[in-house]
Amino acid sequence: MSYMLVNDEIKIALEWEKYKGYTVRPLQTTINYYEKMILTYLKQEPSLLYGGTPEIRTLFQKHNLKVTIVDCSELMVRAMGYLAHNRIPLSENEYFVESDWLTIDPPIGKVSLAIGDDAINMVSWSDFPIFIQNVHKLLLDDGVFICRLLIKPDDKFIDQNFFHVIDEFKNDYIKSRYDLVSRLNFICYDKKNYSMGWQQTIKQLGKDRLDYLAFDSDLDFVGTFGFCNSKFYCPPKKEFEYLISDYFKILEIFHPSEYEYCMYEPVYLLQKKN
């Protein structure tokens, strides 16, 4: 599955820039946390970055730290480079490896730190064990994996009616359009396979409901997310923590603080068990 429904570096970058503040990109408190953890736990270069997240690449560029970027799409990684600090597809501190995240082999060398922003959510729940085992294999003893994870929202949010969600937004119970978009994704969450995604939400809401969102001139759901094909598999928190328990020790769980529904976007600081 491609991340985007366009195939041009610049177009992808322009589309991705629209997503600032939404689930698909890390918020400033998360970026600050990443920076602190990278500088604390990086023992030797390079680090391993899952995907081309520009905010994380900016941190490595600003601190002149070497990083190996692993992704199945060179186009996507190059496009994200235009949104990072140096504004070029690949910087001198970056080494790109084209690979599926489930089959990365040690030729890149073991690392002391790996980081992924929503990366694990982009593999199916059935593949989470393979992803976790592979990260474990690629880390040095006591190495650290920094993992932002989208988790399953509470059932009360999944089971709500579209117009009830809109009423909550109009009555200021939902405080921002960023939270509103999260809640719209929640009501389209697939409980069977733990999935959410922009195209999934667009399809399930349908044209009439999406047109109804025009009451908020700041939110053009299709105009904003129509080219984004990212699909996220968001397991219950307890199931994820049970899955990783044989491979990692949880050192800390950080929650971004910008918006109310950031409670469902925790960042796990995980240390490899030997």
Tell me the pLDDT tens digit for each residue of 195-220. Answer: 999 999 999 999 999 999 988 888 89
**Cβ proximity of 92 and 24 under 8 Å:** no
Q: What is the pLDDT of residue 6?
A: 93
| Paired tokens of 187 | 């009501």
Alpha carbons 88 and 265: distance in angstroms, whole number: 29
Q: Which domains does the chain have, with CATH numbers?
A: 9-151+234-272 (3.40.50.150), 155-233 (no CATH)
**Cβ proximity of 145 and 111 under 8 Å:** no
| Paired tokens of 217 | 């001139």
How far lies 238's CA from each of 55, 129, 152, 202, 224, in Å? 28, 14, 10, 29, 32
Which amino acid, 273? K
Q: What is the pLDDT of residue 219?
A: 87
Q: What is the pLDDT of residue 217?
A: 83
Tell me the pLDDT tens digit for each residue of 63-82. Answer: 999 999 999 999 999 999 99
Tell me the pLDDT tens digit for each residue of 144-183. Answer: 999 999 999 999 999 999 999 999 999 999 999 999 999 9
Q: Name which of 129, 89, 103 is nearest 233 in CA terms.
A: 129
- How many C-beta atoms lie closer than 10 Å to residue 227's C-beta? 19
- How many C-beta atoms lie closer than 10 Å to residue 172's C-beta? 8
Q: What is the pTM of this model?
A: 0.96
* Confidence at 110, pLDDT banded by 50, 70, 90: very high
